Amino acid sequence: MAELTVGGADLAAPLGFGPDSIHFRNAMSRIAAAVHIVTTNGPAGLGGITVTSVTSITLDPAMMLFCINKASASVDRIVENGVFCINALTPAHQVLADIFAGRTDQRLEERFAGADWTKLATGSPALREAAASFDCRLVEAKEVGTHLIMIGLVEAVVYGPEGESLVYAHRRYRTL
């Protein structure tokens, strides 16, 4: 049993057991996270989603990862295409973040109509006005619980001038 003291009270829980998903999700909502749109294009078609779980892994070689729910419509497209582009958003992209998060009735391909996109090394859409875009070749998709950890080798980067970033905390967008 793991022992923990909270507010003076000792709590004990068996190892391997944690909070229910509601409590975990509520706790995570208190942590600010940068907002990104991850895109892909190739033989499986165009795809993209909004994500907050993104991080760099190594500098040499440059590698990044993001996490995606296995039930996402974009999973198969990213895996089959073998490429993705992580686009870090600015406050001007809040509506676009909602579109790619599936909060509108726009289908996968329709989501791209509301912004200016270009291509870098892999052919995945890179948002022209993103704070930064990291164009990656998929090297591993690791299944962990309900999600896949998508690991990519960065083949190209572009970034704009220093400015504000779009973050998500307390279940709403904020500016940093």
pLDDT in tens, 136-165: 999 999 999 999 999 999 999 999 999 999
Per-residue CA distances from 151 to 134, 158, 163 (Å): 12, 19, 27
Which candidate, 73, 59, 72, 71, places its Cα nearest to that of 134?
A: 59
User: In the chain, where are the structural domains located?
Assistant: 32-175
Write out residues in the chain with pLDDT < 50, as ranges.
1-6, 9-10, 13
Tell me what pLDDT residue 5 has: 44
pTM: 0.87
Tell me what pLDDT residue 109 has: 74
143 alpha carbon, distance to own chain's centre: 16
Tell me what pLDDT residue 100 has: 95
Q: What is the second-level CATH architecture of the domain 32-175? A: Roll (2.30)
